[in-house]
Structure formats: structure tokens, C-alpha cells
Amino acid sequence: MSSVIDWLRENENLKIIDEPLDVELEIPHIAYIEVKKENSSPLLFTKPINRRKNIEYDIPVLMNIFANREITEKIFGKNPNRVAEGIEKLLKLKPPKGFIEKLKMIPELLRLKNVFPKRIKSSGECQEVIICKDNIDLDRLPILKTWEQDGGAFITMGQVYTQSLDGSMQNLGMYRLQQYDKNHLGMHWQIHKDASHFFDQYRKAGVKMPVTVAIGGDPLYIWCGQAPMPHGMFELLLYGFVRGKNAKLVKSITNDIYIPKDVDIVIEGFVSPDKMEIEGPFGDHTGYYTLKEPYPVMEIETITMRKNPIFHATVVGKPPLEDKYMGWATERIFLPMLKPMAPDLIDYYMPENGVFHNLILAKMKTLYKGHAQQFMHAFWGVGQMSFVKHAIFVGKNAPKLEDSIEITEHILNRLTTKKILITEGIIDALDHSANESLIGGKLGIDATGDEVEDGVKELLSDTKLLNKIRDIDSSIVELKQYFTNTKNPITIVRVDKKESIIDNIEKFFKLKDNIKILIFVDKKNNDINNLYMLLWRVVSNIDALRDIILEPFIVIDGTNKSKVDGFNREWPDDVHCTKEVLDNLQQKGLIDIDNNFIREFGLLSFN
């Protein structure tokens, strides 16, 4: 990984685009489309420009580094399952009883010496060029504006290094960073993150907090930045464990934070304990814009870089995205760390169209009554798993969790309202669906048992059911039934919503003989034939406490909420590409998409 570009050229079909392209919308749109293709590739944009600011950058932009599963495995140097095996073996280490057992442990202990980052006294490649405070200009970096409603340009693959007030703990996080001007960045560390906890320490002490942001270098640094490590553990320990060699760190020029010596660009500065600025909006990985909120501000003291740096960036929005493959590696590697608190857990899967924290499927050995419910509480009470909104548990003989059709049929044949748990807990700060931020409804489903006996009493065709439901409510514009071969078919309707669904749900109860699960989505921007995006929409839009009815059949209100629902927060738009940009890129031959592709992934708004 000494030269990421050379490595990508040789191994991963790197696509090099020499056309001058704008960092505002054009480059992100190309990357967004590429990563949605079945065999997507990394992209290198050699001539980024900013037409609005009249800038031609001399730093190329690298995107979609984690372009597919194969390249992700190569970045790790091994299958993530092998990394998980090593972690599981380490967790099961016991004190040796005799001399022979001590000898057998030596190779394991020798490997552990490579886990801990190594601080070196010399400077690193990342400090070959030093730009002092008086000459700092963030406009020298090709920082991207991804979406039309974004509040500005954002660094999207920044490795944010922080440390506790006493210096005893160091953290690496991957947070977006909004460019305010030539020397200030917005620090979007959410309230539950370690960096935010550190900031609280500095704020109470009334002193500035040092922060160093790194860009580029080994792609494994980027993955470590989003890994859900336990509180207080430095994420670069994972780097050493995966690579089998120490991460080599050098001291920042203006503060005491250490960063990898081989990154491309380093931005050093301090965060004032009493200065906040509005950050956002930003089209995020949820597929929705996160709204404007005050966040701390980083004042930049110096920028250092390699002589020929590469600017790494990612694009976020509706799934599938690059984080699909990063999340796959995280899911595999952290399975052994979940098992100590849930020892009968066999496997778990967080589908990317559930944007990870919105849906988890888990396979377990059930040993007693209520075992799955115990797992639900365990998951909702530990680390970043506590942000999961919807958890579904199946037994050990269930199909593979990634087989979406088979596992869905398996769940629907075992679904009963008697084994549905709806409760309340913390939710991700990016979640927009709850009535208040940071806390909302949780849904747990125990589908570990035998098939249920009762199905639909009278299954109607889509046409007959649509006519019957439109007699009740003419605002229903379309209907489609799925999984009619199961005990709990799903009926999805598009509605031209004018009133609260839940407040007026009783009028639909006369359909109890024809329906087992009824899901409402808005007429606008929902394709009733696209299950992949419908799952994304519904799990993103619901708060289980507010939007689910269990009797006489299951009702799920997946529509956008507003004042007619008693929802008083601002409901954000979901992200869409800019049509003029897509048309221009298509005319230039830089993208090749048709209307089916556009609709499949919700690239543009439609009615």
C-alpha cells in the first residue's frame, strides 16, 4: 500500500478520468453512479476543477476505493472472516497450565506485539510539504460538494484523530467536515461518539481541543476510522492486528496528536470550547439530508502533505454505496466481539438498504422461552448496536441471512404479533423519523419458532384488493402484494396522503380477512415494484412506537411525516441527483445510464 494508485492500477481496474470535472456535483455524481453498478471500480479524477470559484486543482481525487467485495478483501490482505477467526482465538486465550502450553502460546504473543501503533521520532512522508497558518487556504484542496442542497463543500473521508484531555486515550473517527472558509472546518462529531466525549472534557476545562485530520494513505486507516471499537480503545490497534505490523505514527507539527506517517494530507488545528457554527444540510448515508445544527468549529493551524498527494473522498446517499463493502468487513470482523454478550449468536447481517443501524437480522440457537427477547435487549444495550432500530431473530436452521427472498419467506411464515416487542431507546443522531432527536421506537421480532398456523382467510388478486381498498379510501393510488405464498403476505400501497394514516386506520380494519401486513408509502418517489428501495424507505421512515399497529392485522406507516401526524420536527428531503448534471455527463459519455437505472436507484424525483 506504499502507493495506493499504483496498486489500484495493477490490481483493481482503476478507471482514470482525465476530463476536467467540477468538484461541485459532477465528480460526486459519477462516483455515485459507478458504485451502484454490479462490478464497480475505483475512480481517479486527474483534473478536478471548481467552475464557480475558477479553480484548477493540482491534486487528483480518488473515489470508490472500497468499490466491491473483492477489492475490499484485497485491501485487508485476507478475507475478513479470517480476521474474525484471529480475534475469536484471542478472546478465548487462557493462561497456560504447563511448559508445553506456554511454548504453544509464543507465536500468538509475538503476533500481538505488532498490534500496538509505533511512534517514531522522525517526520513522515505526510510532512514533506508544510503550509503555515498565514498561508492556509482550504481552496487548495479539491473538497467536494455532493448534493444540490448541501450547505457547502465537505471532506467525506477524513480520518479525525483526537485525544482525551489527559492524553491517556486516543481516538480515530470518520466524520464529515464542512468547509466554512479558507481556514475553518465544521466538526460533525455526534453526541454518542468518543471525540464528542473528549470535547466535553476540554469544554469543561475551558481549553482548546487539539484535532488532526488525515486524508489518504493506506485505505485500511479509513476502515479503522468507522470501526465500532469499544470506548477507550484506539482504532489503529485494529490496523496492527489486520496488517500484522505496527501502524507507524508521527507527531503533528502543532499539537501532540500522532497520525500515520504515510497519509497524503494532514490538517492540524484546535477546536474552541465555546464556538459553534451551523453545520449542514448534508445528504448523508441514510439517503436523506441531515438538517442544520450547531457543531464545534476547527480553526486550522497548519496543513502538511506529501509532495504529490492524492485527495481521497467518498460519496454518500441512497444505497448501495461504498459503505456496503466497508460494512461487510465490519460485520464479519466484529461478530466474535458480539458473542461474549450473546453467546448463542450464530451470525448476523445488516443489509445495506437498511442503512445498517435501521435493520439487523440475526441467527441464534434458542435454548429457552424468551431467549430471542433477551438477545434484543442485549443488542440494544451494547456499543453502536444500541442504535439499531429494528432487530429480527431467526433460529439456527433458517436460510442464509443474505438470501433476501428465502429469509423473508422464513420470517413471514413464523411471524406472530405475540412475539413482537416494541419499546423505546436511543437512536442514531442522523435518524429523522422519531418525534424527538436521539430517542425513538425500537422493534424486535422473534421468528425463531415453528411456522404459524393461520394465514390469510381470503386472498384476493391485486386488482380486486385495490378496488376494495379504494372503496374505503380513494387516496390509495396503487397496490401490490408480495410473498402471497407465506402465512403473512405483505400488501404495499402507495397513497396520495392528505391525512394521518394511523389516526384514521380503523376504516381499513374491515379488510382483516384479506390482509395480514399492510404497509403505506407515499405516492411520490416510491416505486411499488422495487422491493430493495421500499425496504430502505420503510425502515428509514418509521418510528415503531408511533407508526406500527398490531391488531387486527399489522399496519406499518412508512410515509413521510408532517403536522397532520403530530410531527413537529422538520422532515428532510431524500437526496436526488441534479438532472442537468446527469444529462451533461451523459452527453459527454462519462456515464451511461437509462431510465430504468435512474428509477431503480431513485436518482431523480418522480411522482
Q: Which domains does the chain have, with CATH numbers?
A: 4-313 (2.30.110.10), 327-447 (3.40.1670.10)
Residues 104-115 as b or e (16 or more Cβ within 10 Å = b): eeeeeeeeeeeb
Instruction: Supply φ then ψ for residue 43, to 5 degrees.
Output: -125, 135
Q: Is the dihedral of CA 240, 379, 201, 300 positive or negative?
A: positive
- Where on the phi/psi map is residue 564: left (φ > 0), alpha (ψ -120 to 50), or beta? alpha
What number of other Cβ atoms are within 10 A of residue 167's Cβ? 10
- Kindly state the cell numbers that stand for 12: 483493481
Angle, CA 458 vertex, CA 455 and CA 463 arms, to 5°: 120
* Strand partners of residue 129: 305
Q: What is the mean pLDDT of each run of 10 residues along the chain (607 residues)?
A: 77 89 98 94 96 96 94 91 82 60 55 82 93 95 97 96 91 93 91 79 92 95 87 86 91 96 96 92 94 93 95 96 92 86 90 91 93 90 85 96 96 96 90 92 95 93 97 96 97 97 96 97 96 96 96 97 94 96 96 95 94
User: Any idea which residue has 398490531 for its cell?
Assistant: 550
Closest CA to 203 of 299, 274, 151: 274
Q: What is the pLDDT of residue 384?
A: 79
Report whether 257 contacts 357 (CB < 8 A): no
Instruction: Supply φ then ψ for residue 103, to 5 degrees.
Output: -65, -40
Angle, CA 50 vertex, CA 44 and CA 54 arms, to 5°: 140
The pTM (predicted TM-score) of the whole model is 0.92
Closest CA to 282 of 428, 387, 144: 144
Q: What is the pLDDT of residue 1?
A: 43
Q: Specify burial of residue 525 (Cβ count, 10 A radius: 0-12, 13-18, 19+).
A: middle
Q: What is the pLDDT of residue 336?
A: 86
CA distance 189 to 202: 14
Closest CA to 578 of 20, 28, 36: 28
Q: What is the pLDDT of residue 17?
A: 96
Q: What is the pLDDT of residue 448?
A: 96
Q: What is the pLDDT of residue 557?
A: 97
Q: What is the pLDDT of residue 180?
A: 97
SS3 content of the chain, % helix, strand, coil (to 5): 30, 25, 45
- Helices within 395-489 (DSSP H only): 404-412, 462-472
CA distance 497 to 366: 42
CA distance 543 to 525: 20
Q: What is the pLDDT of residue 39?
A: 86
CA distance 85 to 121: 34
Task: Give the number of residues written for the chain.
Answer: 607
CA distance 416 to 395: 15
DSSP 288: B
